[in-house]
Structure 1
Amino acid sequence: MSKQIIKLGVIGLGNIAQQHINNITSGAVEHCQITALCARNNTGLADELSAQHFTNYQELIDSGSVDAVLIATPTLSHFAIAKYALEKGLHVMLEKPIGLSSWEGEQLVKIKPANTQFALMLNQRTDPTFKKMKEVIDSGILGDIQRTHWTMTNWFRPDIYFQVSDWRATWKGEGGGLLVNQCIHNLDIFQWICGVPNEITAFCEFGKYHNIEVEDEVTAYLRYNNKATGVFIGSTGEAPGVNRFDIIGDKGSLHFTVVDGSGKLTQKLNDQSTATFCANTDEMFGMPKVTTTDISISDKVNQHAIIMNNFIQAIQGDAELIAPAEDGLASLDIANAMLQSTWNKQSVALPLDRQKYQTLLTEKASHSILREKSNAQAKVDMNASYR
């Protein structure tokens, strides 16, 4: 029995949209046909794809020529476009983040019609190494998590990255910088594997390395309900950067490190729990015996294509979404809490008071302006952007 071909409209034709389009036209995404494009200018791509061209997203959504839309526009327009598409009953794949704030995202989730697929491009959930880490943690083999630590400063961005965009790295256009753009993937994986903390104290640096008004460095301290603690460090100003993710449990630990572009995943298992050994040993300087195993995974996958295929399969009724849009709220809550903690110079409790944060962001945005876009020609290699 042949599968239904899903008619897709792509809204926005920037760098990431081009990658999605290439995945579809190359066959990496199956049972999907691009029938409409929306961009301010007709570049001729619509003719190449035998698709309709629109300059207004509402006209595309109202055209009746699509079953679903892929929204790959600047963050400031995510809310309005996704809201309109959901209200019209279309299936929606939205590029991250779900909005300028988790409050915006929450409003979108609330209006999603029944039997409509609303997904977010949280592609790193398909990374074989992160899937393996989650499998290990979920198995309970490491015992209760005691401490987490992720230093992710491998997001270096030169000035031209910001200069060629008028909206990027502004409160008005993006709702933040490092946290809501680059590190939103890491924060999603962090909470997906380790859970959501119940309190965050953060120290963000704004425009420390670039001429921007938003954060380009953060150091945050996390506390969890079981008294576990965590540290998250991110930066777009370090070269070379560091990518090291440690999860310490009562019975062992996981350590993921990227060196020279190659990731290594190490598992350490104690012969007994640390708490049991601590309470019962008579060895003053003793430690549990440890077995260390390299469980690195070298498989490479097309993360974006996997998420898009899953989206198409979910529309066809053949799969559950890997990254439903509501799952994007947790990582954005964490990012928003880190910013709020810095602004107010105090710890922020989670669940986040999203309306309170939205009020703070609205105030920031009221004094923010989109920058004068540079005419500089940037060399773009999208593969170099994924860390």
Structure 2
Amino acid sequence: MTQNTVNIGVVGLGNIAKQHINNIVNNRVEGANLVAICSRSPSSLSAELGVSHYTDYKSMIDASCIDAIIIATPTLTHFEVAKYALQKRLHVMLEKPMGLSSYEGEQLLAYQNVGTQFALMLNQRTDPTFLRMKQIVDSGLLGDIQRTHWTMTNWFRPEIYFQVSDWRATWKGEGGGLLVNQAIHNIDVFQWICGLPSEICAFCEFGKHHDIEVEDQVSAFFRYQNGATGGFIGSTGEAPGFNRFEIVGDKGALLFDDGQLSVIINSQSSVEFNQQTNDMFGIPLSETSVIRIEESVNQHAAVMNNFVQAILQGESLIAPAADGLASLDMANAMLLSTWTNQSVTLPLNRQVYQNRLNEKIKGSALRAKSTRQAKIDMSASYR
């Protein structure tokens, strides 16, 4: 590696891998140099890009031609590929989720060496709106959080999305469905801004809208350590879907709805007003303003730029791999709550969840891929 360049290899040539490759070769990632790609089948892409092609990830890593690796393979292979790369002291950018479970993710972290950057593609942390929401919550402007809620049901996926893949939406291949694939982004942002709940009670529906064995609809309820409550509703089978995120404090509230962010500030804390007013039907006066976010961000490129600069300059990672455990803990807790018909306390007993997941995996199998041709527009996949 030269002082200003990181030689990168990409494992996997699916939709998201091609997006990462496109960002690198079109100079959207400063200091990144694509030198190798890896897929099980030969690809003409290597000749088009002028890079080496490997059919085995170990061969690519062992060739000592790369400093860092982007792993964009099916979830069931995340652990083995990342483990080998970390053992070889490569810097690793791993696509979400970190693994089939937080237990698996925790085991993987043990292979990270000092000085090695290990990042997760939690790209929605770079969304300007969510960044602003986090700044407001962290500033204390809303006061003590009393309630949170996110309705995220515009992750609609038609049947063909699952049919053209042999691993998606299977316990064996993905470790779940909606919670660990699409909504893992929202759950990560949720806990990143509002913190982890202390207790989760959830109702997951399995194959309600699709011919799949995993969850495609979820309703969950949270309790936080300070007594605040919250909720999450998600679906890949609801149309039209909604994206509404509420954070309510005693001094005000944030509302993200259909892409618009509003901040509501009370003239007096609701707790204080409640105790002090003589008005039987009184309510604190409040003022609402709309925060207009004009900035547009290539989220994946932003995370990759940060990863490369972490390697070259020691910049702090936006999403270190260890951060991926929290969202997986929440997702796993929602599934465990459904399976046991009980609320689940956090910190999650990851071994208990893993044991239940292993039972599901034993009865699961990868599906035969459909021969139908899917029309692919990756820009339509982001919410």
TM-score normalised by the chain length of structure 1: 0.98
Asked whether 1:338 is paired with 2:337, we answer no
* Whole-angstrom distance in 1 between the partners of 2:309 and 2:164: 36
Among candidates 324, 344, 351, match of residue 355 of structure 1: 351
Give structure 1 regions of 4+ aligned residues with deviation exceeding 6 angstroms. none
Deviation of residue 3 (structure 1)?
4.7
Deviation of residue 117 (structure 1)?
0.1
Long gaps (5+) in structure 2 = none
Asked whether 1:61 is paired with 2:61, we answer yes
Asked whether 1:304 is paired with 2:292, we answer no
Asked whether 1:242 is paired with 2:238, we answer no
Deviation of residue 296 (structure 1)?
2.8
1:367 alignment partner in structure 2? 363
How many residues align? The count is 382
* Whole-angstrom distance in 1 between the partners of 2:109 and 2:249: 34
* Whole-angstrom distance in 2 between the partners of 1:343 and 1:318: 43
Letter in 1 for 2:64: G
SS for the counterpart of 2:173 is coil
Asked whether 1:6 is paired with 2:36, we answer no
Equivalent residues of 1:127, 1:301 under 8 A apart: yes
2:30 alignment partner in structure 1? 30
1:224-263 correspondence runs (5 A): 224-258=224-258, 263=259
* Whole-angstrom distance in 1 between the partners of 2:30 and 2:69: 16
Letter in 1 for 2:312: Q
Letter in 2 for 1:168: R
1:76-95 correspondence runs (5 A): 76-95=76-95
Long gaps (5+) in structure 1 = none
TM-score normalised by the chain length of structure 2: 0.99
* Whole-angstrom distance in 2 between the partners of 1:22 and 1:282: 63
Post-superposition Cα deviations, 1:268-298, rounded to whole Å, max 9, x if no partner, equal 0011110000000000011111011111313
1:212 alignment partner in structure 2? 212
2:316 alignment partner in structure 1? 320
* Whole-angstrom distance in 2 between the partners of 1:357 and 1:83: 22
The sequence identity of aligned pairs, in percent, is 65
* Whole-angstrom distance in 2 between the partners of 1:31 and 1:132: 28
Alpha carbon RMSD of aligned pairs, Å? Answer: 0.8
* Whole-angstrom distance in 2 between the partners of 1:206 and 1:152: 17
SS for the counterpart of 1:85 is helix
Equivalent residues of 1:3, 1:31 under 8 A apart: no
* Whole-angstrom distance in 2 between the partners of 1:348 and 1:61: 40
SS for the counterpart of 2:175 is coil
Equivalent residues of 2:43, 2:53 under 8 A apart: no
1:119 alignment partner in structure 2? 119
* Whole-angstrom distance in 2 between the partners of 1:33 and 1:375: 35
Post-superposition Cα deviations, 1:206-228, rounded to whole Å, max 9, x if no partner, equal 00000000000000000000000
SS for the counterpart of 2:317 is coil
Letter in 1 for 2:289: T
Deviation of residue 51 (structure 1)?
1.5
Post-superposition Cα deviations, 1:201-260, rounded to whole Å, max 9, x if no partner, equal 0000000000000000000000000000001000000111010000000100000001xx
* Whole-angstrom distance in 1 between the partners of 2:315 and 2:198: 32
1:140 alignment partner in structure 2? 140
* Whole-angstrom distance in 1 between the partners of 2:120 and 2:360: 26
1:161-176 correspondence runs (5 A): 161-176=161-176
* Whole-angstrom distance in 2 between the partners of 1:173 and 1:163: 14
Deviation of residue 335 (structure 1)?
0.2
* Whole-angstrom distance in 2 between the partners of 1:336 and 1:63: 37
1:294 alignment partner in structure 2? 290
SS for the counterpart of 1:209 is coil
SS for the counterpart of 1:93 is strand
Equivalent residues of 1:253, 1:268 under 8 A apart: yes
* Whole-angstrom distance in 2 between the partners of 1:26 and 1:340: 43
